[in-house]
Amino acid sequence: MTDLAPALLEILRYPDPRLHTVARPVQGVDDRIRALIERMFATMHAANGIGLAATQVDVHERLIVIDVSEARDQPLVLINPEFEWLSPETRKGEEGCLSVPGIYDGVERAIAVRVRALDAQGLARSIEAQDMLAVCIQHEMDHLLGRVFVEHLSPLKRLRIQSKLAKAQREALRA
């Protein structure tokens, strides 16, 4: 057998309405889910992302892959994640999203979180995170609720982003 790289998935682009779908819980951590996890990691790495929610690849189940490490060797899988705790202290930091290419803006987030989730083996884990990982978890968990980070911005900023993305898309089609 040849060692085939997992096929990449298409990432939905804002304002695709499918990004507003609320994900349902994963029913069982089986081979289908593990294959999806592999393809999501490959897709995220190919796009130079640090997190990807299943919602972004048009699979509406509560599944997130994350790797915020520089060496891309600390994969984190969150299945059916739920917040156990969010720090009352928040901070505004710059965020981007593979579904909103080229756009970065400030979002206020808790600086630390604790989440309970299943891992790729289906085992329940409690994960404490701070700084970039905490922000990434909050950003990806928003996706599972059908929320894109630009929805934290003002309506005016959101309109500007939509017209900028539409223009970029028109130019890509013309090229």
- Nearer CB in complex with Ni ion: 1/93: 93
Residues 40-78: b if buried by 16+ CB within 10 A, e if exposed: bbbbbbeeebbbbbbbbbebbbbbbbbbbeeeeeeebbb
Q: How far is the CB of 111 from Ni ion (least distance, A)?
A: 19
Establish if 44 lies at the interface with Ni ion (CB under 5 A): no
| Number of residues this chain uses to bind Ni ion (CB under 5 A) | 1
Which segments within 12-169 are labelled E, that is strand?
A: 51-53, 63-66, 76-86, 90-95, 105-110, 112-118, 124-130
In the three-class reduction of DSSP (H, G, I as helix; E, B as strand; rest coil), residue 67 is classed as: coil
Judged by beta carbon, residue 13 or residue 91, the one nearer Ni ion is 13
Task: By CB under 5 A, name the one of 12, 23, 97, 136 that touches Ni ion.
Answer: 97
Q: Which of 61, 82, 140, 171 is catalytic?
A: 140
140 is annotated as an active-site residue:
yes
Stretch that binds Ni ion, among 31-39, 75-83, 90-98, 121-129 (CB under 5 A): 90-98
Residue number closest to Ni ion, CB atom: 97
Q: Specify the stretch interacting with Ni ion by CB under 5 A; choose among 9-17, 60-68, 95-103, 122-130.
A: 95-103
- C-alpha–C-alpha distance, residues 122 and 54, integer Å: 17
Stretch that binds Ni ion, among 2-10, 33-41, 97-105, 166-174 (CB under 5 A): 97-105
- Comparing CB distances to Ni ion, the nearer of 79 and 100 is 100
Tell me the closest approach of the beta carbon of residue 143 to Ni ion, in angstroms.
6
Closest CA to 114 of 100, 101, 125: 125
Provide φ and ψ at 129, rounded to 5°: -140, 150
Query: Residue 8: which of 33, 30, 41 has the closest Cα?
Result: 41
With beta carbons less than 8 A apart as the criterion, state whether 88 and 71 touch.
Answer: no
Closer residue to Ni ion in complex, CB, 47/123: 47
Q: Contact positions toward Ni ion, by CB under 5 A?
A: 97
Active site amino acids: 140
